[in-house]
Structure 1
Amino acid sequence: MSAPEPKNFAPKQPVALAPPKEDPISVEHLAKCSGANPDYPTYVAIKGTVFDVTGNSSYAPGGAYHVFAGKDASRALAKSSVKEEDALPEWSDLSEKEKGVLNDWFTFFSKRYNIVGKVTGASNL
């Protein structure tokens, strides 16, 4: 029996990513980036870091993960939940297992999507 693959979350096809940005993004601006308005990109924030998921239909209205778009969805990702009420930035009170899941999601996103900024005033880094 061979050893399991390491958890590196590398995409099947290599993704050319831009250098991460530290641009401040307000919660109000982030909310406009929900995929509902074609004049704005589609963003998902995790632990205060904003990822550009524009072009992935899963985050567009009607998509399986649309609940995450336009907000910091750290709690929902940690809990593997697609419930609107779980799509919140607060995660510090979660179990160690859930925090590990959240860190895995952060790694997954960071290997696939450009980091475009940080949520202004985020305390959940």
Structure 2
Amino acid sequence: MAAKFEPKEPVQLNPPNHSPISTEELAKSNGVDGRPCYVGIKGIIFDVSGKDMYLPGGSYSAFAGKDASRALGLMSTKAEDVRPDWYDLADKEKQTLNDWFTFFSKRYNIVGTVEGATNTEPSSSS
């Protein structure tokens, strides 16, 4: 079952970096003007730089520079859903969020954690 999340092409990932990154710094990491492009999930920040879908105009650009946990669980790209809180999601949506976390963790480097994040859980370690 876990194989469904494996990338089509092998990915060489760096060891995870769990340095804290402020929400202000995360917001600047939106891929605009050559800046890196980061997406947070459950307080963990992934570097999605170089992936057009997260850059301005891309289908997932709403996630850039934000913790998009709720939107990923809801399978939504609506701006109002792009926020870190997810605890009140239905079990099926929580599973979808966990699936996205697994998907990201097999493809993108972990570059930090959201400073002061309260939307993490002990089992979300990588």
Question: Do they superpose with TM above 0.5?
Answer: yes
Which residue of structure 2 lines up, in the alignment, with residue 28 of structure 1?
Answer: 24
- Equivalent residue of 1:51, what SS? strand
Q: 1:85 and 1:36 mapped to 2: Cα distance?
A: 21
Deviation at 1:35, TM superposition (A): 1.3
Which residue of structure 1 lines up, in the alignment, with residue 53 of structure 2?
Answer: 58
Deviation at 1:37, TM superposition (A): 2.9
Calculate the TM-score normalised by the size of structure 2.
0.93
Q: Which has the larger radius of gyration?
A: 1
Where does the alignment leave 5 or more consecutive residues of structure 1 unmatched?
1-5
Say which structure is richer in helix: 2
Deviation at 1:7, TM superposition (A): 3.3
1:81 aligned partner, one-letter code: S
- Percent of matched pairs sharing the same residue: 61
The 5 A counterparts of 1:99-118 are 99-118=94-113
Q: 1:36 and 1:92 mapped to 2: Cα distance?
A: 31
- Equivalent residue of 1:93, what SS? coil
Q: 2:31 and 2:82 mapped to 1: Cα distance?
A: 16
Task: Count residues with an aligned counterpart.
Answer: 119
Where does the alignment leave 5 or more consecutive residues of structure 2 unmatched?
121-126
The 5 A counterparts of 1:33-48 are 33-38=29-34, 40-48=35-43
Q: 2:16 and 2:54 mapped to 1: Cα distance?
A: 21
2:101 aligned partner, one-letter code: F
Which residue of structure 1 lines up, in the alignment, with residue 75 of structure 2?
Answer: 80
1:61 aligned partner, one-letter code: P
Q: 2:21 and 2:33 mapped to 1: Cα distance?
A: 17
Q: 2:102 and 2:91 mapped to 1: Cα distance?
A: 16
C-alpha RMSD of the superposition: 0.7
Q: 1:71 aligns with which of 43, 66, 71?
A: 66
Deviation at 1:15, TM superposition (A): 0.2
